[in-house]
Structure 1
Amino acid sequence: MSSGKHVLVVGTGPAGIVSAYGLALKGARVTLIDRETQVIDSPRAMVYLPSTVKALDKLGLLDEARKLGPESYDYQCYFAQSGNVGRMDHRLVQDLTPYHFILHFGQDVLANMVLERLLALPGTEVKWGTTLEAIEQRDDQVLATVSDATGQHVIAADWLIGADGARSTVRKLIGATFDGFTWPDTFMATNIEFDFGKHGFADSNMVSDPVNWAVIARIDNSGLWRVAYGEDSELTEQERLDRVDQRLRHWLPEGAEYRLVRANSYRVHQRSASSYRAGRVLLAGDAAHATNPIGGMGFTSGIQDAVTLVDLLAKVLNGETSDDVLDWYAYERRRIFLEIANPTAIEFKRRTQEADPQKRLEDEQNFLHLVEDTDTMRVALMSIFGLESRPYQVGWRESVVPEDQQRSGSDKAKSLVGGTTSTLRHTEEIE
């Protein structure tokens, strides 16, 4: 099957590269552009939850992905107030899904692996050091003005996918707002060489504490681990870097030796684009939505954006259906972010950083009850698949939307088609 249609993808993060690869597999000509000169390797997402594992398998990438890093089954939560520990084991759902494990490796490793496969396919190219300047839409194509070291050029494509991150140029050019807010917190991400596994840690861990909270997770097979924690937003970046050893000592065994490999700080957001589609332009990944990383909702949602877009846009490119399926993509992916990913990420952050002693006790009791109740834990473990899109239905506006309105409340459900929700009020862009 080959359509010969041309798709321009802006952004070489996971959502962009996975979208490009999936569409190229289905016969599209694909051009991928990025203002950077290579895949960014700063500390970012590196935990692949079961729904992402399933998505990689769908694209034929899982066998190779399993060679890139370790597999794990456990998630562990430390409650600093009491010293108690609760552990969830994904093997409890192995009778329900073959995707009952987690993979660990950096998102840059995934991007480079998929990029190599992409460029082996006919009709594909990557233009590094290329900046999007303008978009012009016509009835049958979209014209993108880009600039590189040789000057300005125009790339004509049938469709354009904006996967260019939370500061997306594509989103701004189509006039979509980025509704929501930026947290006052500053997050610090450190990659260190130290074997936490020998000291009672699972491969994925959350430390619940109002000051010394942390997310600690294994990155790869070489002994590299990620420790992410909160830092003072009033400090300079250098001051935060100078405090890394002092902060890490809260979670390392006394006197432990380690090697700091990478460290950087970043701000976190809870935001969604007002629309994920404008004509022949579609948004995916962080260009469409941004969330704090605790719980992995942002990266996981972005991969689901990509696999949904591959399925639906490929059908349009090959003349199998009308572009109404792309309106469905925009509706469904926005619904999932606003109804599931966004509130889940906010709740993960609250539980990790909760300061009220009574609420912390309640959180602990609820979690420990969860891990002691096998049926409840099985439901919780399977809930990650709720980030997958529902199948497209002809006439979805008349059938699915009213059902969503009834389930979630009329005003909120209507806002999923365009506009904001009560949890995403502010509309200023990220600078």
Structure 2
Amino acid sequence: MLKPIIIVGYGPVGAILSLLLARNQIPVIVIEAATKYPEEPRAVGLFGPSHSVLEDAGIYEEEKRQGMPSAGLSFRKRAVDDGNGGQRMGDCIASAKFAPEVNGETPPGGHFILIPQAKLVRIIAEEMKHADLQQFATVQMGLKYLSSEETEDGIKVIAEDTEGNTHVFEGSYLVGADGSRSDVRRKLGLKLHGTSWPERLISADVLRTTNNVPEIPSCLVVDPELWAAITPLERIYPGQPGLWRYSMAVSDESVPDQELEKAEFVISMLKKHIDGPYNQEFKVIRSKPYKMHQLLCSSMRKGRTFLAGDAAHVNNPIGGLGLNTGILDADALAQTLVQVLKQGRPESLYDRYSYERRRVFQLYVDPISKSNKQRLHVSSPDIVANEDWFLASIMSDDPEEKFSPYKWMANWKTDMAAFKM
């Protein structure tokens, strides 16, 4: 009888991996240090390749229902005084719809869906309550991973609960999906390598009412200092309260880190970006400062342990590449485990998983992520549309020149069955 796969971390990567494995009748035990699902303001966008993974997991329709399908993106200058006691949104630099509707619906893969990753985890957790999945998957909250060691035919994991009691789990393999500060990675002696950005980012979820809802509400603010990403977290209707995410750069390195956690500082930053009357009321639901990095682990597999998501690689959040890359890691790892454990493919496929997902990060995710960030602050907002190939491409009417998200996204997902081992 197959011992369970032990997954450390029940964020979106650990959650989707556990669901995919359970659907393939591979037993799973998930341990998560938190006692409840987190609500931190993290990634919000799910792109085309992730949609097929969510379809395989059986949650695409629910994720679409609870999220906000969005077929476009805009780039704007920073907000400016409107001369009437408030400020207006900055002028549009470039915008584009990436996918047309078909019979009133945007088909899977042809758009991105705006949904907080915390909500995605809750959707998965609810799906896992089904009896046919519960028999293959167990999720235990409030258990912190301490250590692991390989046995003759598997792996032993030691964890600790909130009262200091020790718990021992026996499994066939271990997966570290426990984020950028991964204890699993650290215990393996593996390190992240790369660079860190000097700027910091404040992400804030804000409840506000606006009468001005653009056709493409998601926007990236281009400015040397006050660059930002602004997006709705739900369907926004004029004159009604709605939840928005403001991810705002703090470029002044002299501002202490602890200042970024103060409510007064967060509000002062938001007032530089929110359009409408200066005296308007809004409510900060939650906020969190982040440091930004471009990092990759030297390997995503060591013995019977695998890494996935931020435990293996980290990039700045502009563009939502981190969440989607993590989901696609989970998909590739699920494919790998299914093909080895249930289809008899050789264990050398495990190294191929590490090689291919690191290749995707190095060739596509990392350089595109860097460009996404630098596009917002390196060039002047007045000339960036002419200087930057991406902005020029999305605005082009020439089908040969126009940016196609499908072509780029085809490189993001890994088909493990394609490799002859």
Q: TM-score, normalised to structure 1's length? A: 0.84
SS at match of 2:120: helix
Query: Distance between the aligned counterparts of 2:190 and 2:403, measured in 1?
Result: 39
Note if 1:23 corresponds to 2:21: yes
C-alpha distance 306-210 of structure 1, shift in aligned 2 (>3 A) = same
Structure 1, 358-367 or 274-283: larger mean CA deviation: 358-367
> Is the 8 Å Cα contact of residues 51 and 388 (structure 1) preserved in structure 2?
yes
Q: Give the 5 Å matches for 1:184-195.
A: 184-195=198-209
C-alpha distance 252-153 of structure 1, shift in aligned 2 (>3 A) = closer
The alpha carbon displacement at 1:377 in A equals 3.0
Note if 1:99 corresponds to 2:120: no
C-alpha distance 374-323 of structure 1, shift in aligned 2 (>3 A) = farther
**2:156 counterpart residue number:** 143
Query: Distance between the aligned counterparts of 2:309 and 2:303, measured in 1?
Result: 18
The alpha carbon displacement at 1:273 in A equals 0.8
**1:274 counterpart residue number:** 298
Q: Give the 5 Å matches for 1:2-401.
A: 4-79=2-77, 83-92=91-100, 98-120=108-130, 121=133, 122-148=135-161, 149=163, 151-195=165-209, 198-200=212-214, 202-221=216-235, 223-231=242-250, 232-233=252-253, 234-238=255-259, 240-255=262-277, 256-354=280-378, 360=384, 362-363=386-387, 367-375=391-399, 376-395=401-420
SS at match of 2:362: helix
Query: Distance between the aligned counterparts of 2:349 and 2:126, measured in 1?
Result: 30
Query: Distance between the aligned counterparts of 2:211 and 2:320, measured in 1?
Result: 21
Query: Distance between the aligned counterparts of 2:265 and 2:249, measured in 1?
Result: 12
Q: Which structure has more helix as a fraction of its residues?
A: 1
Query: Distance between the aligned counterparts of 1:195 and 1:14, measured in 2?
Result: 30
- Deviating above 6 A after TM superposition, structure 1's stretches of 4 or more consecutive aligned residues are 93-97
Query: Distance between the aligned counterparts of 1:211 and 1:87, measured in 2?
Result: 21
Query: Distance between the aligned counterparts of 1:362 and 1:93, measured in 2?
Result: 29
Letter in 2 for 1:226: R
Superposed CA RMSD = 2.6
> Is the 8 Å Cα contact of residues 40 and 108 (structure 1) preserved in structure 2?
yes
The alpha carbon displacement at 1:317 in A equals 2.1
The alpha carbon displacement at 1:99 in A equals 1.8
Structure 1, 222-231 or 22-31: larger mean CA deviation: 222-231
Query: What is the percentage of aligned positions where both structures have the same residue?
Result: 26
CA displacement 1:136-191 (0-9 Å, x = unmatched): 11342011111122522321100111000000011111121111122221100011
SS at match of 1:377: coil
The alpha carbon displacement at 1:247 in A equals 2.0
Query: Distance between the aligned counterparts of 2:98 and 2:307, measured in 1?
Result: 32
Number of residues paired by the alignment? 394
> Is the 8 Å Cα contact of residues 74 and 216 (structure 2) preserved in structure 1?
yes
Query: Distance between the aligned counterparts of 1:102 and 1:53, measured in 2?
Result: 9
The alpha carbon displacement at 1:227 in A equals 0.7
C-alpha distance 365-137 of structure 1, shift in aligned 2 (>3 A) = closer
SS at match of 1:386: coil
Query: Distance between the aligned counterparts of 2:125 and 2:211, measured in 1?
Result: 32
SS at match of 2:212: helix
SS at match of 1:336: helix
Query: Distance between the aligned counterparts of 1:168 and 1:182, measured in 2?
Result: 17
